[in-house]
Amino acid sequence: MINLRAGVAKNKFDIPPGFRMGGYDNRESGNTGTHDNLYTKSLALDDGKNTLVIITNDLLAIDGEMTAIIRRKIRHQTGIPEYNILVCASHTHSGPDLYMDGFISIALDQATRELRTALTHTILENALNSLEHMCPAGLYIGKSFCSKIAANRIDPALPSDPSINVLQVVNEAGETIAVLINYTCHPTVLGADNLLISADFPGAAERILEEHFMGKAVALFSNGACGNQSTRFTRRSQDFEEVERMGNLLAKSAIEAMENAVSCGDVELRAASRVVELPIRKLPPIEEALEHLKEAKELKDKAIAEKRPFSETRLAFTRYQGAYITVKMIESGKLCKNLSGEIQILKIGDVELIGLPVELFVEYGLSIKQKSRSKNPIIIGYANDYLGYVYTPEEAKRGGYEAWASPFASEAGTVLVEQVLSIEEKIY
């Protein structure tokens, strides 16, 4: 604990009843109340030369506009460079619908704009609070594995990433004050029929960990390259009992990671960021897209009518959603040039937090981890913006939901991996 200081804070979001929920398009009404609170949490680290701020949120997504406001106001009040601030979302599908895809051009209504403003203020004030209450600290990095929560949601035989990374922060007395968890999985235990606000299984895991430390620590969750990872083939049900079971599995694995944790020593903090262009896909003619949408709808309706197993019905429904999004992209006329997104790396000693503004397929996440110069590369998805799925060429040929719902070309993943490795050269 020679040079490092750390501060942590959390605050709950106030979500009004009746507000539209995000993550599933087939909900018939807004939320009917709150099952468990959604939180924004902030971990600030300072080595005497640089300050890093890691902000996690129990939300579906944080878009570029919200991120820019938060970063700019933190910089104005503290002088911390904007690229030293990472803002990410857990991607819970049981939170408010705050974000509309910019490449589809759906206008935000007044209620949504007001809630975005309120939540942005909550995130900002909480981050500043973490910076105002810093103390000497030490860092530990721990790892474990859990294959009982996530699996490849397209085919469970395809690749997945069962690793759990935990960054543990302790004060001078050796007491844990913060635990940053990273795990790769869509928080979709709860389905479209759930109308209660919830952070899903990551929120349950955070609560269990905070109880484990007698309320003296804040647990923060960050997601990984989970574009094709979910609980579709591992969950036993889609209710809050299952949320609790999955949360316990994650919390138990996080505790195992801390039991195996090693000190990061006298860490040096660095940050690097680059805005990169990712190639967009060539959209089909509208006639072809409409025909695909018709076929997808027929398959969805058939699966429902025949009461096919849930996994099959859900797969049919998501393919219909992908076809629908493609039609909307064509009709908007906005998808005519490459999309720009920020890749951010926060270097914390031997640990790298790699922030990506996309839903990255796990194959690319594993590739980054394999090729990274870092001893502990940690991918954080849904970071600083939300631009859509980055899928594999194989999935494009398969014609699944993610490929049809994405604005990107199939080579975007390779470009992204190359750019991450290039930015690493800058930070070392």
Percent of the chain at pLDDT above 70? 97
pTM as predicted:
0.95
Confidence band for 315, pLDDT divided at 50, 70 and 90: confident
Query: According to the model, what pLDDT value does residue 322 have?
Result: 87
Query: According to the model, what pLDDT value does residue 310 have?
Result: 76
Per residue in 320-376, pLDDT tens? 888 888 888 888 776 766 789 999 999 999 999 999 999 999 999 999 999 999 999
Helix axes 310-332, 286-305, angle to 10 degrees: 160
Per residue in 174-224, pLDDT tens? 999 999 999 999 999 999 999 999 999 999 999 999 999 999 999 999 999
Query: According to the model, what pLDDT value does residue 106 have?
Result: 61
Helix axes 64-78, 110-132, angle to 10 degrees: 40
Query: Using an 8 Å Cβ cutoff, are 187 and 199 in contact?
Result: yes
Per residue in 274-285, pLDDT tens? 999 999 998 889
pLDDT above 90 for 249: yes
Confidence band for 1, pLDDT divided at 50, 70 and 90: very low
Closest listed residue to residue 89, CA positions, set 139, 15, 23:
23
CA 172, CA 193: separation in Å to the nearest integer?
47
C-alpha angle 211-221-122 in degrees, rounded to nearest 5: 90
**Side-chain-facing half-sphere of 378: CA atoms under 13 Å:** 26
Q: Which residues pair with 8 in a beta bridge?
A: 43
Query: Using an 8 Å Cβ cutoff, are 227 and 358 in contact?
Result: yes
Query: According to the model, what pLDDT value does residue 104 have?
Result: 56
Closest listed residue to residue 406, CA positions, set 189, 228, 188:
228
Per residue in 21-80, pLDDT tens? 999 988 989 999 999 999 999 999 999 999 999 999 999 999 999 999 999 999 999 999
Per residue in 250-301, pLDDT tens? 999 999 999 999 999 899 999 999 999 999 998 889 999 899 899 989 998 9
CA 330, CA 289: separation in Å to the nearest integer?
9
Average pLDDT, the chain: 94
The full DSSP string for 268-319 is -EEEEEEEEEEPBPPPPPHHHHHHHHHHHHHHHHHHHHTT--HHHHHHHHHH
Per residue in 139-158, pLDDT tens? 999 999 999 999 999 999 99
Q: Which residues pair with 356 in a beta bridge?
A: none
Helix axes 362-371, 412-427, angle to 10 degrees: 30
Query: According to the model, what pLDDT value does residue 382 have?
Result: 97
CA 90, CA 100: separation in Å to the nearest integer?
17
Which amino acid is residue 250, in one-letter code? L
Q: Is the dihedral of CA 318, 319, 322, 323 positive or negative?
A: negative
Closest listed residue to residue 403, CA positions, set 415, 391, 412, 394:
391
Closest listed residue to residue 357, CA positions, set 370, 340, 337:
340
Query: According to the model, what pLDDT value does residue 333 have?
Result: 76
Query: Using an 8 Å Cβ cutoff, are 202 and 187 in contact?
Result: yes
pLDDT above 70 for 227: yes
